Amino acid sequence: MDISVQDLKPGDAARITGFAKGDRDYRQRLLAMGLTPGVAFQVTRVAPLGDPVEISVRDFTLTLRRNEAAILKVERV
């Protein structure tokens, strides 16, 4: 079942299953940052109002704004 990154809490692990329809250019930027289907990540921090979200993926930390993270389709691991 696909969920959104916003549904995850700090410490939760998930795997990217795909991308929502939307801005193709931004989807390409996410792919260039290593956020490819099948990659597992962990939510490390969430700002008090939910924006931005910090994730740990491929041995580095990445901070995504809410609208950026909404493009990702993920499943809990």
Which tens digit of pLDDT belongs to each residue from 23-75?
A: 788 888 888 888 899 999 999 999 888 789 999 998 889 999 888 888 889 99
**Three-state SS annotation for the chain:** CCECHHHCCCCCEEEEEEECCCCHHHHHHHHHCCCCCCCEEEEEEECCCCCCEEEEECCEEEEECHHHHCCEEEEEC
pLDDT of residue 23: 74
User: Does residue 8 have a pLDDT over 80?
Assistant: yes
pTM score of the predicted model: 0.84
Which domains are seen in the chain, by residue range? 5-76 (2.30.30.90)
Mean pLDDT of the chain: 88
pLDDT of residue 69: 85
pLDDT of residue 54: 94
